[in-house]
Chain A
Amino acid sequence: MIIQNSPALIPLLLLASAISIPLLAIRKTGIAYVTAAAAAFCAMAISAFNTYRVWESGPITYHFGGWIPPIGIEYVLDPLSAFVTLVVNVVAFVVLCHAGGLKDREITEKATPYYSLVLLLLCGANGMILTGDLFNLYVFLEIFSLAGYGLIGIGEKQAPVASFRYLIMGTIGASFYLLGLGFVYIVTGTLNMADMKTMLPLLYGNPAVTAGLTLIVIGMGIKMALFPLHGWLPDAYTYAPSTSTALIAPIGTKVAAYVILRVLFFVFDVKFVDQTLPVTDLIGWLAAGGILFGSVMAIAQREMKRMLAYSSVAQIGYIGLGIGLANPLGLIGAVLHILNHAFMKGALFLVAANLRKNAGHSDISKLDATYRNRLPWSMAAFTLAALSMIGLPPTAGFFSKWYLALGSIDKGNWVFLVVILLSSLLNAVYFFRVLEKVYLLPPTDPEAGKALPKLARRRAVGQEEYSLMIPTVVLSFSLLLLGLWNANIVKGILQRIIPPGM
């Protein structure tokens, strides 16, 4: 019974907890955090279970209200959606574990609504991934976005402005998606993805389909921060509270990338998007531009969070590039990079959060070995995640690059290959700049990390609290495991998601 309903379980569970948090936490605000963490944990457990079931016995569908699609709304758990929900929920849970130690500093007095919003955000993300209905997707997209605007707006002084910009851009994106969907709906008369897939081949000559697809891709491109539609991202990531950034950066843009992937390859036809109307080519080239632009801009930044934000623009490019290749290896690379980048960026933003909590800033130009002495484990996590971003084995980052490189060669697109490899080097420039400072610049405060009261030492290494250190380290060190065992992920799950006709 519960197994049959499992596709719908995660969004509903998250939605229910999100709504109940304000009620539960009327008396004791502490409950808010506990509820949120518990809900995230359950979501993670269910999605792990779902992934296992899909892996073992194939896709599962769930029909809301018992209405049979295409009339009713359908939820689909196939290898792709099961995998992406698992990634999203794992990262979200780890980040939430970390959030417990930060709430005193960044979101004082707002903890209850904050955690409610976090769960809404997750609900939106999971819903977008699981739904098999294109309009339902729009609704979840807006739930996700609205929660996101709130989470960003809670931050520093400039945060509402950044959030407002994101809101304007995000609404344009979502509206474009809706408009495009309208075009496609008018000609097909259905909103169900599977149903639409059977009808579209008859309509590929229709200009409404072309217009609809273009609008959907542009709309989601904004949400995904695909270059040059990324304008909202750096400010939003920089000024948001660290927890929000650590949550939105690994999840937010990936979900939009997932939607593009889903629509292009699972609603439309690979042949159509690749040859008749070369949308994938367009995405690929824009992504390649984004990789270079993002990396170069990241080198120019002084603030760590902003640097990481620009790096996100570049890394989203990898996913876009994989989509743009429109071949199996490219797709594997793109989806694997959704996983890898979620872990890497999660870890890096958590380090930035730890730094802010400890030092009150995350200004790269002020970094020196003091911070390494104070935050030894965070900096180790940063190093490992940075190596993964550069793409050095045995970390996970190497392997997504490897598959993307193979994909580019398969496609015969040498420019993409050069871009992928060049960006490795650019990443090295901006990460080693930080590492050099943290490890090699003599500390301004030689006593840092040494003179600690005994009591504090029990809860902390250096000046790091375990509650902040452990999630960071877990995310970062998982990169080693993900790298070493990536073939299992690829063979077990990713090779099954390749759509027919690719």
Chain B
Amino acid sequence: MTDPDLYISVLPFYAVIVSLAAVPLILMSTRRANLREFWTLAASLVKFSLVFALLPGALEGRVAVFTFWEISPGIALALKADTLGVFFALIASGLWILTSFYSIGYVRGLDEHKQTRYFASFAVCLSSTMGIAFSANLLSFIFFYEILTIATYPLVIHKETKVAIDAGRKYLVYTLTAGVLLIAAAAWTYRLTGTLEFQAGGLFGDLSLSPSVVTTLFLLFLCGVGVKAGIMPLHSWLPAAMAAPTPVSALLHAVAVVKSGVFGVVRVVGFVFGPELMNQFGLSTMLALCAGVTVIFASLLAFRQDNLKHRLAYSTVGHLSYIVLGAALLSPASLVGGLLHIANHATMKITLFFCAGAIYVAHHKEKISELDGIGRAMPWTMGAFTVGAVGLAGVPPVNGFLSKWQLGLGALQAGEVLPLAILVVSGLLNAGYFAPIVYRAFLKKAAVPYEHGEAAPAMVVPLVFTALLSVLLGLNPDLFFHFYRLANIISGSILGGAGP
């Protein structure tokens, strides 16, 4: 692709700031719950429409840029809504709308404490996620990445139980360490190149570097973004963080936070190092190996979890590494597959988490072994769950199939068979750990008849909606958002930038 057409626009800035601007409003309306929730919903809708407005430009290859001011001599805090950024921002902001509705149903259904803090932190998280998506350079990226780390903490410890506090500690240890390593990596890169600007195809240019420097630098980056991306052995904060309320797990630990990590991996692979360096120094093999191991082990570990959310968490760890694998293989189809999986996994996993939350609110059940016969009491919820589970196992027509198909193609394009094998095995494992849940829900009889039926409509409607979305996107990946086209453009820009 030729040089993208840059134009100055405040849209990215507004998209970042809108939920931050909602925070004071949310804090001020502590006493009036309806007004407070109105602010959240309004912010989410406005944010989504702003991001959506950037979509046509992104499809035409035009890039909106917005620069705040310099935050270090020579490095500005700058936003750049390139295709990859818009792609990620669309997913996160779109699902935030649904999560907001769902959250309201969830926290009211459970009569949670400190709802104001909850909604305010949520809004900050989304702001920083947009910032991550639109960061034009590495320092801006770190800037928002660290804000996201801190803004998520109050959500992880929301329940304020011992388990939650321990999870919060674990979360901080992992993510702060990662942040520190990322800073080291960025500082080093800056001293080597004199720039931190993301560039499709890598920012090192013609710099001749020794293998040990590149490898160390890559490892630093990998640890930096890999913690949020849940690459093994850096994943263990994620299952622990399931102590958070379910909407948090749904949006942040299936979409925003973890995808920020994966997004970071894609940024690092495609826009910092670039395919050429990745291949030249064997970094892609290293990354693919990590991802492959993670996919298999996470799926195996998922079997052992009886807690529904923990099983979903391990499943998330596995699926995040699909995306990393796609990025590591660096073939056109694998990149498209990986990117598509960012969107597809998001819709499917959020459905599953929504279901887990709905079950918890309606019946206070968290364990899979307690779910016998729940399908009859909650047909819509469990129906949606089945759709999500089927999709994650990679069965058409749900969208999970498409991304896996592309990933598989990509593996063949790259001339590797092992990744293909991993994909197939992990598909089976996925089916293996989701099947018992569906089986129990629909085919086993409940020991004690259920007292309630479905959860509140505010919860059921979003989850049915996301399930529907998963199917629709599976039938036509270009529906509404043109995810497929976007993914193709991104993959072209990363790989095209490297070719002679």
Q: Give A contacts to B, CB under 8 Å.
A: 387, 390, 392-394, 398-399, 401-403, 405-406, 409-410, 417, 421-422, 424-425, 428, 432, 436, 440, 442, 483-488, 490-491, 495
Contacts and interface: CB of A to CB of B under 8 A. Distances in A.
Nearest to B190: A406
B180 interface: yes
A394 B72 contact: no
19 contacts: A392-B179, A398-B146, A401-B183, A402-B187, A405-B184, A406-B190, A417-B184, A421-B180, A421-B184, A424-B180, A425-B173, A432-B169, A436-B169, A440-B157, A440-B165, A442-B160, A485-B69, A487-B73, A490-B73
Contacts, number: 76
B69 A410 contact: no
Contact of A486 (B71, B149, B165, B168): B71
Interface string B25-49: 0000000000000000000000000
A interface majority secondary structure: helix
Contacts of B157: 440
A390 B176 contact: yes
Contacts of B187: 402, 405-406, 409, 417
A425 B73 contact: no
B452 interface: no
A156 B236 CA distance: 47
Contacts of B191: 406, 409-410
Nearest to A436: B165
B177 interface: yes
A341 B344 CA distance: 46
A440 B71 contact: no
A461 to B, nearest CB: 14
Q: Which of B73, B139, B143: most chain A CB closer than 10 A?
A: B73
B146 A487 contact: no
Contacts of A484: 69, 71, 77
Contacts of A398: 146
Contacts of B150: 387, 392
Contacts of B73: 487, 490-491, 495
Q: Sorted from nearest, which 6 A-B pairs have the closest CB atoms? A: A487-B70, A405-B187, A421-B180, A393-B143, A409-B191, A392-B146
A487 B71 CA distance: 5
B267 to A, nearest CB: 17
Interface in B130-157: 139, 142-143, 146-147, 149-150, 157
B163 interface: no
- Residue among A393, A406, A417, A432 with the most chain B CB within 10 A? A393
A264 to B, nearest CB: 24
Contacts of B172: 428, 432
Contact of B72 (A390, A440, A487): A487
A408 to B, nearest CB: 8
B176 A486 contact: no
B176 A424 contact: yes
A491 B176 CA distance: 29
A401 to B, nearest CB: 7
Contacts of B190: 406
Nearest to A369: B160
B491 to A, nearest CB: 31
B181 to A, nearest CB: 8
B146 A402 contact: no
Nearest to A383: B150
Contacts of B168: 436
